[in-house]
Structure 1
């Protein structure tokens, strides 16, 4: 089914995780290109600061503090967008909880928090966004964030890669349902490198490919206007899947070795 999405200047975009580096970069880029933006995350102070900055430049922006791991909060986000702008055309899920360490080191609380944000939050947001697009009867875009680890496992962000894989499977199944029902919804799964996680600094020291948040944001902006199923930002798609697998696995080994040498403790970080 051919889907024609609006130009960015004609769109209202919801951005979850708007206080993260990727969320901030996406909001600034979208607003500069003429989009109206609704910003949301759990960090109310950061949202106010970003919204104030955008408004000072004459960009239409509003914000609502919310936790997408709570279904009632996701409803609140959608209602705020409709109340303020009358609709939304693109929903970007860029919230993320990253866990750095071995599977055996992760606490149950860490794992619950990670899956609640990374997986359940994606489910709630996806369902509400698609319901809105279906009710309006016009094309819309849903952009979910996963990671390169969702394609191939590695040895260091093991807990995170499990939730990333769940997001990938959910998004693939959701896309199949949308196609079956012939709904005009573009569903994109973004596979970025974890450029804003605790192990970013280690990656830089080893000179592996780490893309800045702006590179991820550019791909989000592209997906908001051009239907595309998957976009890999970190490890580029290869004609040689074995080599690509080795690249991702090798990166994990490098980071793992560096952390173990420094005897760094298990870490978690929210990008919300």
Structure 2
């Protein structure tokens, strides 16, 4: 039967796609919490610098430059982790590449590359990690997207890849649960996150790309990942906007199509160009090492929806308290109105009585106010 997951401070955590964005933010946060971290990505310089920064802050980190789409990459990562810190406790699959453009203008070579990294690399790593974690338990965390629920125009190939990630992750989870394996499998579904993603993506839109609003801080995704490393969760969606997109697409798919068709281009383009050396890492690594994009936009640093998922009982208690308060206020307002009506009737029936005094006495008797009326 599945056992308890270790506290992050006692874990060794493997993170792919750790040279920028969500992966880098997670590696830093995990190291700050006391975890031993293995950073994996293609860009050796960026990885070595990130690992060195972690060590300078007192953390424990090792870096391996490798393409997760390479045959046998997962086993090589696992062996490197064991040599560096011993067996891993959590494996995070975050590596991905992306592309902005029309589906009919995307070559099959580009299609395959997006899937080789984001799906086949993730699938191979998940199967390897699950095999190892069967022995002593642990967590497998795959980074999906809200685009696994609802495809985005001009990000069709990436959306399709994330749909595949969701299907694979759900199937693997069921198989592990059916055999009673002590492996927690979590799918993290971020909304649009303010990372270098649009700078790194291959862009065929003719204008610089950006994340469509509302964008969220990558630190929120890092929090969700580390929460899943300690707590068995099926899914976590980061950003309330992601829920709205999903539900809107389910309830009114045709209308959602029309909205995306109207705003899809404008919401995903900007006048601000990528930082020098960062653009288009589809086939080769480019300049890296940043957690946030260089785009000027509003970024949410909190997500009440995420907090509610991580602490459902606390959220239920808060909602219950709010509902009880609203009910009490409504009841008092109704009672107060009935009292005023009764007082008006009594005033007409009583000669020589001060109506304001009667009202004050009546309200005091009903305990509707804590002190005398002025």
Of 197, 210, 215, the match for 1:210: 215
Task: Kindly report the root-mean-square deviation, in angstroms, between the aligned alpha carbons of the 2 structures.
Answer: 2.8
Q: Return the alpha-carbon distance in structure 2 between the equivalents of residues 180 and 105 of structure 1.
A: 42
Q: By how many angstroms is 1:124 displaced?
A: 0.9
Q: Return the alpha-carbon distance in structure 1 between the equivalents of residues 48 and 106 of structure 2.
A: 33
Aligned to 1:219: 224
Structure 2 residue 236 is the aligned partner of structure 1 residue 231: yes
Q: Return the alpha-carbon distance in structure 2 between the equivalents of residues 159 and 132 of structure 1.
A: 31
Unaligned 5+ residue runs, structure 1? Answer: none
Aligned to 2:115: 115
Is the CA contact (8 Å cut-off) linking 1:203 and 1:255 kept in structure 2? no
Of 229, 252, 255, the match for 2:264: 255
Is the CA contact (8 Å cut-off) linking 2:18 and 2:41 kept in structure 1? yes
Q: Return the alpha-carbon distance in structure 2 between the equivalents of residues 261 and 63 of structure 1.
A: 34
Aligned to 2:46: 46
Is the CA contact (8 Å cut-off) linking 2:191 and 2:242 kept in structure 1? no
Cα deviations across residues 142-175 of structure 1 (Å, max 9, x unaligned)? Answer: 0101111101223221111010001100001001
Greater relative contact order (Cα 8 A, min sep 6): structure 1 or 2?
Answer: 1
SS for the counterpart of 1:155 is coil
Q: Return the alpha-carbon distance in structure 1 between the equivalents of residues 179 and 49 of structure 2.
A: 41
SS for the counterpart of 2:92 is strand
Q: Return the alpha-carbon distance in structure 2 between the equivalents of residues 248 and 36 of structure 1.
A: 44
Q: 1:32 to 1:244 in 2, by over 3 A?
A: farther
Is the CA contact (8 Å cut-off) linking 1:69 and 1:116 kept in structure 2? yes
Q: What does 1:107-146 align with in structure 2 at a 5 Å threshold?
A: 107-134=107-134, 136=135, 138-146=136-144
Is the CA contact (8 Å cut-off) linking 1:31 and 1:60 kept in structure 2? yes
Q: Return the alpha-carbon distance in structure 2 between the equivalents of residues 58 and 177 of structure 1.
A: 39
Max Rg structure: 2
Q: Return the alpha-carbon distance in structure 2 between the equivalents of residues 232 and 85 of structure 1.
A: 31
Cα deviations across residues 219-267 of structure 1 (Å, max 9, x unaligned)? Answer: 11111111111111133446x93477669754675232456898x9xx9
Aligned to 2:64: 64
Of 243, 247, 255, the match for 1:241: 247
Structure 2 residue 99 is the aligned partner of structure 1 residue 93: no
SS for the counterpart of 1:152 is coil
Cα deviations across residues 204-223 of structure 1 (Å, max 9, x unaligned)? Answer: 6xxx2211211111111111
Is the CA contact (8 Å cut-off) linking 1:20 and 1:95 kept in structure 2? no
Q: 1:269 to 1:34 in 2, by over 3 A?
A: same
SS for the counterpart of 1:70 is coil
Is the CA contact (8 Å cut-off) linking 2:100 and 2:209 kept in structure 1? no
SS for the counterpart of 2:184 is strand
Aligned length: 264
Aligned to 2:21: 21
Q: 1:107 to 1:245 in 2, by over 3 A?
A: farther
SS for the counterpart of 2:171 is helix
Aligned to 1:161: 159
Q: 1:89 to 1:106 in 2, by over 3 A?
A: same
Larger fraction in strand: 1
What TM-score do the two structures reach when normalised by structure 2? 0.65
SS for the counterpart of 1:97 is coil
Q: 1:175 to 1:258 in 2, by over 3 A?
A: closer
Unaligned 5+ residue runs, structure 2? Answer: 200-207, 274-278, 289-374
